[in-house]
Chain A
Amino acid sequence: MNLLPTPEQIEITDSSAAFVADKVSIERTRELFEQGVLPAIADAAWAAAAELGWFALGLPEECNGVGCGLADEALLFRQIGRGLVPGPFLSTVLGARTAAFGGEQDLADEIVSGRRVGLVIPDSLDAIGADGSIVGAVQLVDADLDGMVLTVTADVAALVEVASLVDVNEVPCLDHTARLYRATGTGAAPVASVAASEDPIELRGHVLVAAMLTGITEWARDTGAEHAANRIQFDKPIGVNQAIKHPCADMAVQAQLSYSQMLFGALAVDEGRPDVVFQALTAHVTAVAAADFATATTLQIMGGMGFTHEHDVHLYVKRMELLSHTFGAPGLWLARLLELPEPS
């Protein structure tokens, strides 16, 4: 038992953080979405991420992937969350896996080399069929109209052609960095699908979302604490006051809980633990609660600035909301958690 990162994992963290700061800084993201470029990531940056192998990291070598574990992928996604990186990284990584495990290796190769896959967020659970097809009203996040989107349920993950959908209309997204469509499915057969029993793509998704939320919580913790230490009122830093200091401490605890459980969930998937469903769902539940608390806390600590468009905190609040509604909702996950056997 050891939850410390290996030198290779530290390298993943450091190099991805450096890439984010260099190629997809929040300043750049803001320029792009102000210009109406959505998702707000430059094609060159997306291509560079593909070039670095980000979409192949967790794919097995026999599927032309790098063959790293979910824990490694999660450390990468933590930096994506922390840096508020826009773009469909989650659905593209899971989409490549769905293609590869669904017998469409050529498609997997295309996705890994940079073809984007959007994410489906259904209006209701029954909008996704048993085979992963779209049969009702859904929202598409960062989809390309000539491309594919990913559906994920507890039973199946599937890739569906956007061209097979009807009533596709773009609407503004709460997350300014994302492109959102509303659409209706026609039940068209998926291009590829993978049953949960073959590969737990849903659980990988919960862990990767938890990783991004962990990055958000860590950003909020550091931003709030820095402001508390430096903002002077009544001739002293506001952080000397326990009404400020103690919520900062609570953010530190929440961030560490979120990080620890995210790792536990990732390793549970990698090692095929019997309680893997419980651990992965718990990672998502824990990370949502932590990020919700931390973003709200830092917004409050920032005072009036936290309420502005100019400060970045609202972008993190909105991303957190998007990730809280990815692959279900907290109430549904909690209901499932209670039904599962006692964790081992």
Chain B
Amino acid sequence: MDLRFSPEDNAFREEVRTWLAANVPTDRRPKRGPEMREYDLAWQRKLYDAGWGNVAWPIEYGGRDLPLIQQLVWFEEYARTGMRPIDTRFVGLAHAGPTLMARATDEQKSFHLPKILKGEVVWCQGFSEPEAGSDLASLRTKAVVDGDQLVVTGQKIWTSFADNADYQELLVRTNPDVPKHKGITWVICDMALPGIEIRPIRTIEGGADFSEVFYDEVRIPIENVVGGIDNGWSVAMSTLAFERGTAFTISQVQLAASVEELIELARSRRSLNGRPVIEDDSLAQRLARARADCAALRALTYLGISKNVDSDQPGPEGSMMKLHYADLAKRVYKLGIEILGSRSLAIPHVEDDTEWIDKHLIAYSTSIGGGTSEIQRNIIGERVLGLPR
């Protein structure tokens, strides 16, 4: 056992830190629209040109294929720059791309993967539906084979960045007459096709990153199917083996940084009684607990990564990290609102205050998106503890 990084890894950290310090965008990221897309893609192009297009992708697809510990170092340093863990590049780099690597044809791979890596395209995900949330396999969006085309009709929801996306990883029901996991197809959908309508969903903090996507007899070339008709469920699941816990580091490091900022905020702001907020014992204890919990989350992340160094199959730490992170993030950002006190009611008051309010509101999504906390508890209960379904 060892907490220390090797001299090579420390040298690598120095290299990463130096490069990031010189190259991270200094202007503020636009919150929406083509400006946001261009900001993200320009950053991806810069990363790609310097050889940082993707630290985890295999070299044959243009990635860096770093050893797991150096991936951890990369993400720790990346997190310290304050860049978002998820932006319009996320689905392409972390989900659709790895799925294509695992299951697509050579033609599909050579067409799409370089575009993703070079920051030329944005991908979005078409999985969830109004009637298929946690029970994803019950999805109903229908696709009928008509000659060399799939004709898609139905609706998706919670699609991030749909209005800025070029392509979508789309799950459709190609066979309604077999058990639900068996009649699903994974297909690449060009978002410019006729018959697609995108309606942004306004969310709790006022943003509109999510959309509903409607399909009215959208004709997708059958050659866009990945992994074969009716094999889509296993294609969708193949990405999971790609995630080995390092990318999560960004969220963990940034949450810990937020706690440090909140401790400073609590020292500089005053309560209704005129005393520094930090002198409120109950609040101080919760800040201290948050600090300790962030440290323990890092330890858990390190343990999970240690286990994954020699394993192709990620352990249950992934669900544990996500579950604990969600609980902790909600507690941490609620503290932000409490430190601001009644000043949190005046939304546009000060730029920094606005950020804490946004973070608090957005934190509600951490236990819903990407598999609810209830689903994570089912996974842990059944797969780790062996409890009956």
Contact = CB atoms under 8 A, between A and B. Distances in A.
Interface stretch (B125-133, B177-185, B282-290): B282-290
Interface string B372-389: 001011111110111111
Contact of A260 (B260, B302, B380, B388): B302
A225 interface: yes
A5 B306 CA distance: 10
A291 B210 CA distance: 40
B72 interface: yes
B295 interface: yes
Interface string B288-325: 11011101111110110111010000001100100110
B255 to A, nearest CB: 13
A285 B387 contact: no
B28 interface: no
Given A261-B295, A285-B292, A1 B287 contact: no
Contacts of A1: 2-5, 9, 69, 72, 302, 305-306
B263 interface: yes
B151 to A, nearest CB: 40
Given A239-B387, A260-B299, A263-B299, A249 B377 contact: yes
A196 B378 CA distance: 45
B1 interface: yes
A331 B285 contact: yes
Contacts of A337: 288, 291-292
A325 interface: no
B374 to A, nearest CB: 7
Interface residues of A, number: 50
Interface stretch (A32-40, A127-135, A266-274, A311-319): A266-274
Contacts of B379: 249
A239 B381 contact: yes
A228 B387 contact: yes
A253 B381 contact: no
Contact of A246 (B4, B309, B377): B377
A247 to B, nearest CB: 9
A2 B388 contact: no
B324 A257 contact: yes
Given A9-B1, A267-B1, A260 B288 contact: no
Interface in B1-56: 1-5, 9
B296 A260 contact: yes
Contact of A278 (B278, B295, B299, B309): B295
A171 B226 CA distance: 73
A44 interface: no
B388 A236 contact: yes
A85 interface: no
A71 B4 CA distance: 14
Interface in A1-24: 1-6, 9
Contacts of A268: 3
A5 B285 CA distance: 33
Contacts of B4: 1, 271
Contact of B320 (A239, A248, A253): A253
Given A253-B380, A337-B292, A225 B3 contact: no
A335 B303 CA distance: 27
B381 A248 contact: yes
A241 to B, nearest CB: 10
A124 B58 CA distance: 60
Given A237-B388, A249-B377, A282-B296, A2 B2 contact: yes
A338 B284 contact: yes
Interface of A: 1-6, 9, 69, 71, 221, 225, 228-229, 236-237, 239-240, 242, 245-246, 248-250, 252-253, 256-261, 263-264, 267-268, 271, 273, 278-279, 281-282, 285-286, 331, 334-335, 337-338, 342-343
Given A1-B305, A3-B3, A239-B388, 12 more contacts: A1-B4, A229-B385, A229-B387, A245-B381, A249-B323, A249-B380, A252-B380, A253-B324, A268-B3, A271-B3, A335-B285, A338-B263
